[in-house]
Structure 1
């Protein structure tokens, strides 16, 4: 499975917003310029985060994006789902129905060993993402790079 680059962009943008000055909105152009990303494409990701209730947005001269919730209340899975959607990564097509001994009356999504294994793996992956929050990432970054919050605020202010 491969996630789109929008997931990476969204997670980094959310972290940068977590370090923004309280009450300050950050424009999509500033967030895009931070990592030299295309503004129009990043803006689509940011709008998806707004629709998911992760960010808020406002228009006008003081407009931009802010976190809608405390970073402790934003799971990584929330961001991934906002960008990639909630559909399962593996979708059993029940090909066993057409194979030798296949039966039309069997639900192979439940009976197939391959389908079951893939479902278990996906559940584990989703649990791991649900267990980690934006605040967890923030703490990890700050413990390794303590100047990151201040450097982020300064860079955003100068963009």
Structure 2
């Protein structure tokens, strides 16, 4: 997973604490975490294409959540940034070289144990990310630091 996923999740949490009628410029979001604005803007645009954030141009422009934080899962963010390609791709090496005769038992191709293991692990990972929302993470942060939402709002309200 690329670092852009981490950046996007943090931005979504921050945007969940900002008034829904307030758009936050990408440069301001980048400044908040000390990130390169141009690269973060690419991540935010990817979130926009997925409908997770919306953008407004102009002097009061910027980004805001495109859906309620309860409706945005970590899987939504990961797919928006990294795509939906499988993490593990079996190339079928067990059918090559001398191992090829061993892999085919009694002339029947059996499922690849390695591919199955990675597939099951990835499925569990995807299910876990799909079950976690931005609202849930924001609440966890808020419980650990009750002042965080107000501090974030005040910081983004500064000009």
Both proteins in one fold, TM over 0.5: yes
Q: Give the match's secondary structure for 1:126.
A: helix
Whether contact under 8 Å (2:20, 2:64) holds in the other structure is no
Please name the residue that 2:56 is paired with.
58
TM-score scaled by structure 2?
Answer: 0.92
1:56 and 1:97 map into 2 onto residues whose CA distance is: 48
Larger radius of gyration: 2
| Residues in 2 aligned to 1:21 and 1:147: alpha-carbon distance in whole angstroms | 16
Deviation, 1:22, is 2.8
Equivalent residue pairs, number: 154
TM-score when scaled to structure 1? 0.92
Aligned residue in 2 for 1:141: 141
Of 4, 11, 14 in structure 2, the residue corresponding to residue 13 of structure 1 is 11
CA distance in structure 1 between the partners assigned to 2:65 and 2:16 by the alignment: 7
Q: Is the 8 A contact 1:11 1:79 kept in 2?
A: yes
> Do the aligned partners of 1:73 and 1:133 also contact (CA within 8 Å) in 2?
yes
CA RMSD of aligned residues (A): 1.5
Alignment pair present for 1:127 and 2:127: yes
Partner residue, 1:156: 156
SS in structure 1 at match of 2:54? strand
- Give the Cα–Cα distance (whole angstroms) in 2 for the partners of residues 22 and 74 of structure 1: 15
